[in-house]
Chain A
Amino acid sequence: MKYMLLMKYEGGAACDVPMGEWAPEDITTHLDFQRSLGKELAERGELVEAQGLTGPELARVVTSDGRSAPVVTDGPFPESKEFLAGYWIVDVESPDRAVEIAAQASAAPGPGGVPIQQPIEVRQVMSVPASDS
């Protein structure tokens, strides 16, 4: 079953300091954690895709009525914390496993090595129905 695990820029209950302001060794620890989580998921055959998105400062929001020129809004955005920072797509045996992975990701170490408690949104990816009846 495929799930998308989404992370926004909102930070977590135990950290709302942007990474550029952490201690260098805390950054390294955090990156090592992410890397080894990705590696673990890959080795278990669960990792489909993982991407980081470029920052909200580079984002543009586009709306169009199909007729006139599209409206393109540039940052900075007041609600930038709501923007997606990145996602994993995992292929797992059960919904519980998706939650387990998300919990691991949420507890990534932050400043002082303290788990961030970042909220991770877990969404099942729509798939083909099991039968056509």
Chain B
Amino acid sequence: MAEVGEHPSEGLLRELAPQALAVVARRSGDFAAAEDAVQEALLAASLRWPTEGQPDHPLAWLVRVARRRLVDEVRSDAARRQREETAAAGEVPGADVADRDDTLALLFLCCHPSLTPASAIALTLRAVGGLTTAEIASAFLVPEATMAQRISRAKARIRSSGVAFAMPAEGERGEAVAAVLRVLYLVFSEGYTSTAGPELQRVELAAEAIRLTRMLRRLLPDDPEVGGLLALMLLTDARRHARTGPAGELVPLGEQDRGLWDSGLIAEGVELLTESLSRGAVGEYQLQAAIAAVHDEAATTEDTDWPQVLALYSLLERTSGSPMVSLNRAVAAAMVHGPATGLSILDGLDIPGSPLAGHYRLDAVRGHLHEMAGDTDAAVRDFQVAARRTTSLPEQHYLQTQAARLAHAGKAEAGRARAADAPPPAPPSKPEAQPGPGTREGAGTDGSSTGS
């Protein structure tokens, strides 16, 4: 038990939060009210336990205080409250236990498709992740009041859509799990790409996504896509220290110092992926994880098994249909068959009405392939166009720098050619691959044109 004065471990409260909510919500039948009540109980715990000491049965304490808040909402009657407190003091600890189905039901509810992705993310992080509204707001760079509203509205949406806090029917289970995986994947992507996030960010979204996915894996150990998603996160997170340079600049996969990759995470990811694949039902997350594994297991860019990467992207393209996947496949095809092949795939993607038409990623990839093919002028133009159209500042800087590098190499080239026989052209900078999480949502989460 924590000593008086010791701050209750944040980890404990975060762990107990969904359990307390599951117990209270199950009994109360009003999810929104139960969630507010549990929030208040968590706050009370963080304020009172340091002075009063951590209770022997912290979960029961939270449940009791939350229930009291709920009753207070319905009826404020001091005498009745007193009776309830007395009764609660005699409760058998551990009588209310959140079982596996409760926590799953909670996850399914928070990730319900009737919610917008942003709402589902916010609600899941609070109700299941046990983060405070302030922490979530800080992670998403919005004011706390804004995030509080988003969460209230999410709960109102759940109420009005009539979704119950209960396990979905057998036939709907698969879709419910897929919805949860989508939300967790979005949280991870958000965390993974906020390289320019505020210094004061207390919660690491990528770490939180991994923590929640590990929890989901404990709840659903036999679901290969859950294993696949966790493997994908670990294999991607393993590279995080190599993704940014000393000045905070973006470093694409092909240029990363692989010595900075976390070999423990890679090993764990590969093991998890192997186990998931052995179950035979290969889905989208397992495929993405497999691609990440091929990259993570290569000692250098040159050692990468590009034919394997190409095969996996082709398979993924058939299953997922995400435009970013098609872009990635074009890069892999270029690595295997040469830049002309990649470029012609891009031409096929750049047609009016296609989601990639005019998208900056397409121009960025085209720039790399033109550089690979030795067509420097075209590459400079592509990078400049992409730089003007990107929505990410680090990416813009990267693309401008690529354009500048090529343009100035060209000028130097021209100068030397005038003076003497031109030396052989400089080899193109390593072509990048795009193994990072490609999203269905289209904008792509990688910090560079070709992912890291």
Name A residues whose Cβ lies closer than 8 Å to a Cβ of B. 18-24, 26-28, 31-32, 35, 42, 52, 54-55, 57-58
Contact = CB atoms under 8 A, between A and B. Distances in A.
Interface string B405-419: 101100000000000
A24 B247 contact: no
Contacts of B199: 42
Nearest to A54: B391
B390 interface: yes
A74 B384 CA distance: 20
Nearest to A39: B199
B404 A27 contact: yes
Given A19-B404, A21-B404, A54-B391, 19 more contacts: A18-B384, A19-B387, A20-B387, A20-B388, A20-B400, A21-B384, A21-B407, A22-B404, A23-B404, A23-B408, A27-B404, A28-B401, A31-B397, A35-B247, A35-B248, A52-B396, A55-B389, A57-B388, A58-B389
Contacts of B403: 20-21
A11 to B, nearest CB: 14
Contacts of A52: 393, 396
Interface in B95-147: none
B426 to A, nearest CB: 13
Interface of B: 199, 247-249, 383-384, 387-391, 393, 396-397, 399-401, 403-405, 407-408
Nearest to B393: A52
A57 B397 contact: no
A20 B398 CA distance: 10
A20 B384 contact: yes
A105 to B, nearest CB: 16
What 5 pairs between A and B have smallest CB-CB spacing? A20-B384, A24-B404, A20-B403, A20-B400, A55-B388
A31 B245 CA distance: 13
Contacts of A24: 401, 404-405, 408
Q: Is the interface of A mostly helix, strand, loop or mixed?
A: helix
Contacts of B247: 28, 31-32, 35
A24 B380 CA distance: 13
A50 B55 CA distance: 45
Given A32-B247, A35-B248, A57 B389 contact: yes
Contacts of B401: 24, 27-28
Contacts of A21: 384, 403-404, 407
A71 B401 CA distance: 37
A32 B388 CA distance: 20
A19 B383 CA distance: 12
A54 B389 CA distance: 7
A26 B403 CA distance: 13
26 contacts: A19-B387, A20-B383, A20-B384, A20-B399, A20-B404, A22-B400, A23-B404, A24-B401, A24-B404, A24-B405, A26-B404, A27-B397, A27-B404, A28-B401, A31-B247, A31-B249, A32-B247, A35-B247, A35-B248, A42-B199, A54-B389, A55-B389, A55-B390, A57-B388, A57-B389, A58-B391
A58 B249 CA distance: 23
Given A20-B383, A32-B247, A35-B247, A27 B400 contact: yes
Nearest to B388: A55
B134 to A, nearest CB: 18
Contacts of B407: 21
A52 B248 CA distance: 16
Contacts of B383: 20
Contacts of B388: 20, 55, 57
A32 B247 CA distance: 7
